[in-house]
Amino acid sequence: MRHTDPDGHPRTTPPVRGWPTFLLSVLFGLPAALFALITWQVVAAGPLARADERLSDSLVQRGAPTQFLADLGNITVAVPVLALVLGYVAWRTRATGRDHWWRPSAAAALLMAVIPLWVIPLKELIARSGPPIMGPGTGFYPSGHTATASLAYGGAVLLLLPWLRGALVRRAVVVIAVVVNIGVGFGLVRQGYHWPLDVVASWCVCATLLSSLWWFGSRRGSD
């Protein structure tokens, strides 16, 4: 069965219901397993956590460029970007006359809204101290700024992809989002705001959440 894309052109139904088990395990299982491993090492102060702290000591060097990168993970920067994309995609989808035109934007907004529901409890429960430059205090694991950037920019890209023309443009947008998120993580570590594993752990959780958003969007497109 063939459907149409947002511009009315024919397209092939994505093979959602028959996704290979291997692909599902990579998209959902691998990030979750890595997050569990990292969390265990942080809680137990294991070898991986100790290596993480040594690596951080060699990376911290504050400067304006890396501060700019870290600031891209601020709510005041990332959320407005996502909000603009949510509005645009909702408008374009509604213009096609589709039922439930609001669902893609609502799903991406929901992922952003639940960030405090998993980040704050984990910060309180694990109570990891920050890099020495941050002074006394706990609550650095996982990185909330990393989660905000990952879900805002990643979610925006996933919503925009069906509306972009040309494979090259779509690849470029994906690459830009990946580079921005790597930049945010690097900026947070370089400025000494987080240990590297704080950032990687948030990436793992967000990879699973964004895969869920992509899967949800693919299923809606196949209906």
For 113-164, write each residue's pLDDT tens digit: 999 999 999 999 999 999 999 999 999 999 999 999 999 999 999 999 999 9
What is the tens place of the pLDDT at every residue in 92-120? 999 988 888 899 999 999 999 999 999 99
Q: What percent of the chain has pLDDT over 70?
A: 86
pLDDT at position 217: 72
Residue 7, pLDDT score: 54
- CA 181, CA 34: separation in Å to the nearest integer? 18
Predicted pLDDT of residue 215: 82
pLDDT of 216 reads: 77
Range name among 17-21, 68-72, 202-206 with the lowest pLDDT average: 17-21
Rounded to the nearest integer, the mean pLDDT of the chain is 89
> Which whole number is the average pLDDT over 72-83?
97
Per-residue pLDDT, 13: 43
Q: What is the pTM of this model?
A: 0.86
Q: Which residues contact 217 (CB under 8 A, 6 or more apart)?
A: 104, 107, 158, 159, 162
Residue 2: is its pLDDT beyond 50?
Answer: no
Higher pLDDT residue, 24 or 34? 34
User: What is the three-class DSSP state of 213?
Assistant: helix
Q: Please say if the pLDDT value at position 213 is more than 80.
A: yes
3-state SS, one letter per residue, for 70-132: HHCCCHHHHHHHHHHHHHHHHHHHHHCCCCCCCHHHHHHHHHHHCHHHHHHHHHHHHCCECCH
Residue 143 φ then ψ, to 5°: -85, 115
**pLDDT greater than 50 at residue 172:** yes
Tokens encoding 50: 């100790």
Q: What is the C-alpha end-to-end distance of the chain, expressed in Å?
A: 10
Distance CA 199, CA 182 (A): 10
